[in-house]
Structure 1
Amino acid sequence: MVRPSRPSCFLATLSSTLLLLSSASTHDCNPTASQCTRSFLKSISSLYITAQSLGESSAFITSLLSPAGNLTNPGSNLTWTNSGPYANITAPSFLYKENEIVLSPTSANSTLSVPIKIDFHRSAHDTRRCASFTELIAASNPGHPYVIHTRMEFSPSTLQPVMIESVVTDEGDWLFNATGTLSLARQEDWPIIPLNSSARNSYEEIQALGDAYFNRFGNANVTVPWGPPCIRIEGGLPARGNLTASGECIQEWPSTIIVPWRRYVVDEEVGVVDMFVGFPGLDRSQGETPMPDSHVFRVEAGRIKYLHTASSCVEKECGLNGTFFGSEEGMGQRSVGKRSVRRGKAWRLGKW
């Protein structure tokens, strides 16, 4: 993808915006800090959203690697090795992945390097794991809608980045419909849950509910507490269960799928657990090879209230050959520029 040229005022806006965000959290970004704080993670989420909207990956990565969390010379003082995924300064274990493909975040192949018009975003912050989750919905992005789930993990002792991984979905991915996702997400309410509220659950309870959801795919004896409105946003469609008179949501499940490679972000304050997983059998063209997937749950009073999914495929519409979508037109190998090539290559190399 050819990136549009930017006037000098555009870069000046980037510099001032990111400097303001990072300088506001200089204390929390100090590597000598003894613990990972919520304010540190929230500042990183804000930096990420701003950087993605401007397509300025270099400035964002530089700000993460700066010893005091300050942004200096944005976009000009970060270099990457050509032979592998690791930065060659400050954070040698830093890994960046999109749909399980290891990339340099500052390369032309990185979605982070592309400016995206963001219509909606939501973040969660996990101080135990020193990790954050952000959902981006870009339905009105000119010519290329996206729904992106991003998980960022940091060292709790140094606050240096350990991993940034994204499930980047667009046309042809599982039930993809950014406009539908945006419309449904805007109808939901995910407020902070007060500390003494009966709706608030513990860290362990929230994570256990996310695990129960995925465990149910392989074990019919697992119970998954789920309440109204009994809808999950899958791709961009509202997948509805059966809501009983007692307020229990009954879903239909398979019982033979083992879902591996679970990575978590848990936030008790907003009742959220996001789980990055590998989902076997999602892309029919790939057999049982697990596909990159993220599920973010809103939990209230020990039950699922909301659920959003983002799932990436290799073949267009996950190799369903039109049987699900009702049309065979345009099926087959996806062709959305560089991303089609990257995905196909990833599975041949066995990055999972």
Structure 2
Amino acid sequence: MFRLTTALLWALAPAATLAARCQWSHMQDATDAYLESQTSGKPYAMFLSDKVVYRENNRVISPTVGIITKPLAIAHQHRLYDQDGCATYTEQIVTDPKNPYVIGTQLHFDQLAGGVNVTGIDSIVTTTGDWLFNASKTLSHVLKENWDTIDSDSRADRATLKAIADLYLDLWGNEKSRVPWGMPCDRLEGSAYTGNGSATDSCAVGIPTGPQPPVTDRRYVIDESVGSVSVLCTMGTMRNAPDSHEFRVENGRLRYVHTMTVMRNETALPRMSRVRRTVKIHG
């Protein structure tokens, strides 16, 4: 459990470069503090500093008006820790019928002599009216998946994981991008699932063909221990919508893809309609 005294020590400690990698435990403490702040709706001072860049749905705003000030009952969360990039990613699912959310948040840090200093909070926040949104269905699918640690001798390295994530996202703008599809591979898009539990499940269904606007403004968190990459970005083909993609790679091939896209109450998507009609999904 994060203690406020620890936060104060971090805030007062002089900046210093101690090692090439951030310590896992320091990032864990800071992420615990972030989740406590989100649960209470009363952020620790370390997250409200004017030195912290607070970004929500691809816009830089004041954290005092952000989702972090709204108390949320988080039903499920899972995390990535990027020691080389000094960052974490947390997927949060809130099934409260009155305030449902699925949120993807990257925290970015600088190292300090006794821990880490928060430099950025970057969130994609989806709720009712967004693309295929249903928090309860999302949770039901997520709980069936396996995001356990991968044996060290079977892990893809950092560069490979980033390259695979980019190959997938490059499909928008380059339909010939050669993605290493796994079999099975399950994609969770909002609350819609492409898999049904069979060995032939594919993430390749519903991928656009023909010219598409590219995916831009990509921000990464990479965790080799679970073979995963978080990419927050702008989805050009969906009217430049704020978007989060998270990937799990096993044996060099895609196993899971999680997406959330901010499309608040959009009803007409001419670029995507011809693609999505062909997707067999399981809600």
- Range of TM-score over shorter length: 0.7 to 0.9
Does structure 2 retain, via aligned residues, the 8 Å contact 1:21–1:43?
Answer: no
1:103 counterpart = 2:87: no
AA of the residue aligned to 2:23? T
Residue 40 of structure 1: which of 21, 26, 29 is its match?
26
Which residue matches 2:42?
A: 56
The correspondence of residues 1-352 of structure 1 with structure 2, limited to 5 A, is 18-19=2-3, 22=6, 31-32=15-16, 34-35=18-19, 36-57=22-43, 59=44, 62-63=45-46, 87=50, 91=51, 94-105=52-63, 107=64, 109-139=65-95, 141-156=96-111, 159-196=116-153, 198=154, 200-240=155-195, 250-255=204-209, 256-257=211-212, 258-282=214-238, 289-314=239-264, 316-317=265-266, 319-320=268-269
Name the CA distance, whole Å, in 1 between partners of 2:135 and 2:202: 29
The alignment of Structure 1 onto Structure 2 pairs a total of residues equal to 267
SS in 2 for 1:262: strand
Q: 1:156 to 1:31 in 2, by over 3 A?
A: same
Which residue matches 1:7?
A: none
Q: 1:192 to 1:236 in 2, by over 3 A?
A: same
Name the CA distance, whole Å, in 2 between partners of 1:208 and 1:169: 26
| Percent identity (aligned) | 33
Name the CA distance, whole Å, in 2 between partners of 1:136 and 1:249: 22
AA of the residue aligned to 1:34? L
How much does 1:56 deviate? 1.3
SS in 1 for 2:137: helix
Name the CA distance, whole Å, in 1 between partners of 2:14 and 2:192: 43
Q: Deviations over 1:205-258 (max 9, x none)?
A: 1111100001122223221112233321100110349x887x876434224221
Does structure 2 retain, via aligned residues, the 8 Å contact 1:22–1:47?
Answer: no
Name the CA distance, whole Å, in 1 between partners of 2:5 and 2:94: 22
How much does 1:104 deviate? 1.6
Segments of 5+ residues of structure 1 without an aligned counterpart are 1-16, 65-77, 80-86, 283-288, 327-352
Q: TM-score, structure 2 length as denominator?
A: 0.83
How much does 1:181 deviate? 0.5
Which has the larger displacement, 201-210 or 40-49?
40-49
Q: What is the RMSD of the two structures over their aligned residues, measured on CA atoms?
A: 3.1
Does structure 2 retain, via aligned residues, the 8 Å contact 1:274–1:297?
Answer: yes
How much does 1:48 deviate? 1.2
Which has the larger Rg? 1
Structure with higher RCO (Cα < 8 A, 6+ apart):
2
Name the CA distance, whole Å, in 1 between partners of 2:138 and 2:14: 37
SS in 1 for 2:225: coil
Answer 1 or 2: which has greater strand percent: 2
How much does 1:33 deviate? 5.2
SS in 1 for 2:122: strand
Q: Deviations over 1:304-348 (max 9, x none)?
A: 11111111125x145459x8999xxxxxxxxxxxxxxxxxxxxxx
Does structure 2 retain, via aligned residues, the 8 Å contact 1:129–1:156?
Answer: no
Which residue matches 1:82?
A: none
Query: Following TM superposition, where does structure 1 have runs of at least 4 consecutive aligned residues deviating by more than 6 angstroms?
Result: 323-326
Name the CA distance, whole Å, in 2 between partners of 1:63 and 1:306: 33
SS in 1 for 2:31: helix
Q: 1:319 to 1:97 in 2, by over 3 A?
A: farther
Q: 1:21 to 1:294 in 2, by over 3 A?
A: farther
Which has the larger displacement, 301-310 or 37-46?
37-46
Q: 1:305 to 1:138 in 2, by over 3 A?
A: same
SS in 2 for 1:152: strand
Segments of 5+ residues of structure 2 without an aligned counterpart are 278-283
Does structure 2 retain, via aligned residues, the 8 Å contact 1:217–1:254?
Answer: yes
AA of the residue aligned to 2:53? L
How much does 1:32 deviate? 3.1
Name the CA distance, whole Å, in 2 between partners of 1:254 and 1:225: 16
